Amino acid sequence: MLRYANYNIVFQEIPGEVTLAINLSNCPNRCKGCHSPYLQVDEGTVLDQSELLEILHKYGSAVTCVCFMGGDAAPHEVEQLSLFLKSQHEYSLKTGWYSGKNELPPYLSVQNFDFIKIGAYEERCGGLDSPTTNQRFYRIEQDEMIDETERFRNK
Ligand code: SF4
């Protein structure tokens, strides 16, 4: 079951989009230097379709994208919620997923998202805006993953 700790409207995480970033808890990764240790705890509000609709009613027309931050303990639930969002045509929102894993989980269909970031946080490499980052940010076109990590360094 997915839970979220909080959400914010952000401008940096998905280039060119106004994004509602939902911070999912119960992160199974234990990155050294974790920027948000509170997200490692399994607590917060259950994020299911009805909760997502509640959030959309408040912010759905103010954003162009919804990004799931985390959710590596239940990636296919994240994927299902992304599909659900895409079925809400009145909002016509793009969807993104920030995973802290270095590889995508088996059986995930990337075309169910518009953007995917993968890669653990490694202190010595830095985040997406670092020239030495190990993380990758992809735009999804059909089932093709186009690496657009460079866009974070040109801001
Ligand atoms: S993936 Fe993010 S939240 Fe999870 S341990 Fe790593 S830095 Fe912390």
Q: Which pLDDT belongs to residue 154?
A: 66
Q: Which pLDDT belongs to residue 153?
A: 87
Q: Which pLDDT belongs to residue 105?
A: 95
Q: How far apart are CA 71 and CA 116, in angstroms?
A: 13
Q: Which of 24, 27, 35, 67 to mutate to test the pocket of ligand 1 (most atoms within 8 A of CB)?
A: 27
C-alpha of residue 23 to centroid of ligand 1, in Å: 11
Query: 155 pLDDT exceeds 80?
Result: no
pLDDT in tens, 124-141: 999 999 999 999 999 999
Cβ-based neighbour number of residue 87 at 10 Å: 7
Contact 79, 107 (CB under 8 A): no
Contact 96, 81 (CB under 8 A): no
Delimit the domains of the chain by residue range: 3-152
Which ligand 1 atom is nearest residue 37's CA? 8
pLDDT in tens, 3-55: 999 999 999 999 999 999 999 999 999 998 898 999 999 999 999 999 999 99
Residue nearest to atom 7 of ligand 1 (CA): 34
Q: How far apart are CA 16 and CA 155, in angstroms?
A: 11
Q: Is the CB of 36 under 6 A from ligand 1?
A: yes
- Residues ≥6 apart with Cβ < 8 Å to 100: 27, 29, 31, 70, 72, 119, 120, 121
Q: Which pLDDT belongs to residue 49?
A: 98
C-alpha of residue 141 to centroid of ligand 1, in Å: 27
C-alpha of residue 89 to centroid of ligand 1, in Å: 32
Which ligand 1 atom is nearest residue 39's CA? 3
Sign of CA dihedral 8, 149, 120, 117: positive
pLDDT in tens, 51-101: 999 999 999 999 999 999 999 999 999 999 999 999 999 999 999 999 999
